[in-house]
Chain A
């Protein structure tokens, strides 16, 4: 079945540093990947759509210079949180379009980012 691997699962970083989160489709090619952010006890909010070989499309209100997305291959998309601040602490989840059933997306297991 379709598997999306997200790494790391947890990361703690100091304020002002950058953190990179990887999202890999292990057994299928994903031309499109999505990055979501989930605040505690809230729903998932789409941050950006990542397309292989082109610039990401960001949702309104998401700072593209702060959340850098790179989708350099058909199996890997990365989200880099630059100059992280405590308010960036959140649960970040990626999904990849493709795999089992095509539309319906396979989700990664998420990354818990804590900025101290």
Chain B
């Protein structure tokens, strides 16, 4: 069964600093990988996704993620964080076939300080 691990429950960064959120997955083959963001009390917004090809994926709001097969990782990065980036971030893995179910990690809460 597929699984996702986000080792950091909570991260605090200063506005303008760089950000990296970690994500490791477990899947028998190459899965589809996603990063979503959720503001308090809101639904989910897709930041970016990886299906195949270039392992460095660009997303919205200046985010990018790099797929590293050897490390089973899909870390999310942003060079300069803005206060509006404070939210909960979820890494997710999707199975390419069948119902294409998506499994979410436990999330990382990002706090941005002035």
Chain A residues at the B interface, C-beta cutoff of 8 Å: 6, 32, 34, 36, 42-46, 49, 57, 93, 95, 97, 101, 103-110, 112
Contact = CB atoms under 8 A, between A and B. Distances in A.
A101 B43 CA distance: 18
A42 B109 CA distance: 11
Contacts of A93: 43-44
Contacts, number: 55
Given A49-B99, A110-B42, A104 B104 contact: no
Dominant secondary structure of chain B at its interface with chain A: strand
Given A43-B106, A109-B43, A104 B34 contact: yes
Interface residues of B, number: 22
Contacts of A101: 46, 49
B32 interface: yes
Nearest to B91: A43
Contacts of A57: 99
Contacts of A43: 90, 104-107
A46 B43 contact: no
Nearest to A59: B101
B41 interface: yes
Contact of B106 (A6, A42, A106, A108): A42
